[in-house]
Chain A
Amino acid sequence: MSVSRDHSLVQIAFYAALIAVLGLLPPFAIPFLGGVPITAQSLGVMLAGVMLGPVRSALAVCLFLFLVALGAPLLAGGRGGLAVFAGPSVGFLIGFPVGAFVAGLIMQRSRKLAVLPAAAVAAAVGGIGVVYLFGVPGLALMAGLSLDKALIGSAVYIPGDLIKVAIAAVVAETVSRGFPRALVSRG
């Protein structure tokens, strides 16, 4: 087993922990939106994708979800256990690793672009587009709703998600300047 595989393992574990910690932090009061509090968990998913690239970020998110399923209360609001996978938002959870994968892929394939815009596009497409692509049908199925109603029900969260996209892009830009090696997705 190669040394770099051990390195990846630790990186994956650290990002899984980061996603957990971002969900456990008290919600940040965002100055826009009249200070509506948003939790940062899906921000962690976007960040993992943007920073770690497709495979490692998807594995990090899967590892995080695996811990939640094992019974660790790591989802935003201290939720966890198998119950969250029986609830109406299970589709969003399934969309998380796929979203991280897509975000990482976009980041990897857009090396010509500056980090800030590339990360914004990656986080928006992966962290919102793909996640909702799984989440909305999941909600429709679990809640017995039609797709358009499920979409309307989910749309309340899109403004908060857009703010997270902006934060993910700024964080990626900061990291690429402060510790370029850490932007594994482009390494």
Chain B
Amino acid sequence: MLSLYIPGSSFLHRMPAGIKLILLAFLSAVLMPVTEPLVLAGALGLALGLYALLGKEGIRQVQLVRPLLPILVILLLLHAVTGFVMEGVSVVLRLLTMVLLANLVTLTTRMDDMMAAVAPMFRPLALVGISPRRPALAVTLVLRFVPVLLAVYGALSEAWRARTGRPASWRLIAPLALQALKLSDHVAEALIARGGADGLGRPAAARPPRRLS
């Protein structure tokens, strides 16, 4: 499954997605102006504690910060060069805490629930004549297209290796983009043939008469 969610039943899993998002926004806003390293270290400790509550799998997830480490080291060095080591330490601690907290929401919330939590944000779209359900449909389409495009790329790179005996090259990007566009034509036709994005899932009788262009 194309998601970072880890199943579980901790109190974080049970908390509604909307509350988690609001809490995260609040905590991030509170942490931003803090410069006291001790306070930030405490916050980082609390964040790590929350991961520990998720059990073994949760502790394992802390490794997600690994790709961030080289950047943090460089940041620390940049601060150290100019003689603001403590400032560098605060920056690194704050970034680590904020990244870990944000990821905690992602780890404990199903993508569906997250989508449902932010869906009200799209309601104003109706004012400009766009169905608020379109973003959800678009998300579903992308999740479906990613494996399709990966398969297309797989076929292209296999053919490339067979012809050249060399590993895949950037030259495959042009045919990949071409195939993506051709596929998108077909999918669009199929979608329109089924009544279009706004007709999906609506009873046929309730559908307004459609003008074909």
List residues of chain A with CB within 8 A of the CB of B101.
Answer: 86
- Complex CA gap A175/B150 in Å reads 19
Q: Mark A20-59, 1 if CB is under 8 A from B, else 0.
A: 1110111011100000000010010001000100000000
Q: Mark A138-168, 1 if CB is under 8 A from B, else 0.
A: 0000111100010001000000000000010
List residues of chain A with CB within 8 A of the CB of B91.
Answer: 142-144
| B59 sits at the interface (CB 8 A) | no
Residue of A9, A66, A67 near B137 (CB, 8 A) is A9
A82 close to B106 (CB less than 8 A): yes
Residues facing A in B12-46 (CB within 8 A) are 24, 28
Flag the segment in A70-78, A100-108, A110-118, A127-135 that touches B.
Answer: A70-78
Chain A interface residue number, banded: 35 or more
- Complex CA gap A186/B212 in Å reads 24
| A121 sits at the interface (CB 8 A) | no
Q: Mark B65-105, 1 if CB is under 8 A from A, else 0.
A: 00110010011001100100001101100010011111101
A83 close to B170 (CB less than 8 A): no
B178 close to A179 (CB less than 8 A): yes
A–B pairs, 12, beta carbons within 8 Å? A3-B213, A9-B188, A16-B138, A18-B176, A21-B176, A67-B143, A71-B3, A72-B4, A81-B4, A167-B170, A167-B173, A175-B181
| B55 sits at the interface (CB 8 A) | no
- Complex CA gap A11/B74 in Å reads 39
B181 close to A153 (CB less than 8 A): no
A67 close to B142 (CB less than 8 A): yes
Considering the complex, give the chain B residue whose CB is closest to the CB of A26. B168
Q: A3-B196, A28-B168 are in contact. Are A66 and B139 (CB under 8 A)?
A: yes
A153 close to B174 (CB less than 8 A): no
B149 close to A149 (CB less than 8 A): no
Residue of B87, B111, B134 near A71 (CB, 8 A) is B111
Q: A82-B106, A153-B78 are in contact. Are A1 and B131 (CB under 8 A)?
A: yes
| B141 sits at the interface (CB 8 A) | yes
Considering the complex, give the chain B residue whose CB is closest to the CB of A179. B178
Residue of B3, B107, B149 near A18 (CB, 8 A) is B149
Least CB distance from B161 to A in Å reads: 13
| B159 sits at the interface (CB 8 A) | no
List residues of chain A with CB within 8 A of the CB of B135.
Answer: 63, 66
| A64 sits at the interface (CB 8 A) | yes
B95 close to A87 (CB less than 8 A): yes
